[in-house]
Amino acid sequence: MFEWLFENGWALWLIIFLALAVIEMLTLDLFFILMSVGALAAVVADLLGAPLWLQVIIFCIVALAMILFVRPIALRHLHKGPNDLRTNVDRLIGHAAVVIEPVTSDGGRVKIGGDIWSARSTNGAALAIGNNVEVTAIEGATAIVVAAAITPQSPHAEYPGTPAGA
């Protein structure tokens, strides 16, 4: 079997390529897939009749070049997006809310958009029913709020076309 692999080096490089691709699927860090490109380059070198030592050098050079030059660019594009884009509960930070049960440092309830949240005040001040507050943080299922003199804002305001009560 080893004799066949050495006579058909392309098959060995193809096995290495597939193994690296599977490892990449498990890790998802754009490292092993770039090494697998080096294995594909070695397949091409073998099919063109290059000796084994040259195939190994081609594999190493291509894999290293891909990791050093392509990976940083790919990661930059992969993680590209607006810095201020917040999702889930993080996008509620900075939004206005209305107190519907008195809020203290121990607890209370506020209405953020159309949702009712348990809440605590940040500075320990008691906030009366009907007061406008601003969400400064979310801890678990509790909104941390501070008194504010702002008009309540829908948490969907940054998405045009989304109904205010949605």
Which tens digit of pLDDT belongs to each residue from 58-86? 999 999 999 999 999 998 888 776 656 66
| One domain for residues 7 and 29 | yes
Residue 38: inside a domain? yes
CA 24 to chain CA centroid, nearest Å: 17
Residue 49: inside a domain? yes
Domain that holds residue 99: 88-147
Residue 157: inside a domain? no
For residue 152, what pLDDT is reported? 46
What is the amino acid identity at position 165? G
CATH number of the domain bearing residue 98: 2.40.50.140
| Cα(135)–Cα(147) distance, integer angstroms | 9
Give per-residue pLDDT as tens, 11-52. 999 999 999 999 999 998 899 999 999 999 999 999 999 999
Give per-residue pLDDT as tens, 5-19. 678 889 999 999 999
Query: What average pLDDT does this structure show over 92-116?
Result: 91
CA 96 to chain CA centroid, nearest Å: 27
| One domain for residues 8 and 74 | yes
- Number of domains forming the structure of the chain: 2
Final residue belonging to a domain, choices 30, 60, 78: 78
Structure tokens at 145: 């709020």
Is 164 a residue whose pLDDT tops 50? no
Residue 160: inside a domain? no
Q: What is the mean pLDDT of the chain?
A: 85
What three-state secondary structure class fits 102?
coil
Residue 43: inside a domain? yes
